[in-house]
Chains A and B, each alone.
Chain A
Amino acid sequence: DTEVTQTPKHLVMGMTNKKSLKCEQHMGHRAMYWYKQKAKKPPELMFVYSYEKLSINESVPSRFSPECPNSSLLNLHLHALQPEDSALYLCASSQESTVGRGVKTQYFGPGTRLLVL
């Protein structure tokens, strides 16, 4: 099973709202990722969690707040977003590399399509 699930599928929020995106995997992966994808653009890395600890933050604005409550779950808390934050938010997971800086395959969820009004 290589499934990564994301909820909700669609989300519309105002600029003063607080919402959360959720991601779940049951593959035993210890690395999880958030990507942002604008229309007709490639995904861009936002955050990487490794063993439930934030290991990479690609200088993302603080209105995006990631959380990894356990090895299977990854959340992205949203607050005071701007219309330009409207995008497809993709979650991915992979096995943690145990040898040097080796790379493991990332498996992507279907994404949450976010619209900020």
Chain B
Amino acid sequence: AQSVTQPDIHITVSEGASLELRCNYSYGATPYLFWYVQSPGQGLQLLLKYFSGDTLVQGIKGFEAEFKRSQSSFNLRKPSVHWSDAAEYFCADRKMGGGGADGLTFGKGTHLIIQP
């Protein structure tokens, strides 16, 4: 079964510093990878996705991610974080099922703390 691993439960970054959140996937075939962000008590907002093509993906809010098949990774990056980026970040892969609609399987999440 597919799985997604986010090795870092918490990350603390100073405001204005760069950020990298790690994500590793386990599925052998080409994965369909997503990064979502969740503020406390809220739903999930899509930051970016990778299905195929260019391995460097640009997303919203200044985020980008790079798909590296050799490392089974899809790490999320931002050159300069803002206090409003403090949230929970989830990496996700498709969870294959029936028909033409697949659900998502999520990593355990990384809690991002921004220091002033």
Contacts and interface: CB of A to CB of B under 8 A. Distances in A.
Chain B interface residue bracket vs A: 20 to 34
B100 A106 contact: no
Interface in A36-89: 41-45, 48-50, 53, 55-56, 58, 88
Contacts, number: 85
Interface string B79-116: 00000000000100011111111111111110000000
A43 B41 contact: no
Given A42-B90, A42-B107, A42-B108, A101 B100 contact: yes
A45 B100 contact: no
Interface of A: 4, 6, 30-31, 33, 35, 41-45, 48-50, 53, 55-56, 58, 88, 90, 92, 94, 96-98, 100-111, 113
Q: Which 4 pairs, one residue from A and one from B, show the smallest C-beta to C-beta distance?
A: A42-B106, A31-B101, A45-B103, A55-B99
A113 B102 CA distance: 24
B25 interface: no
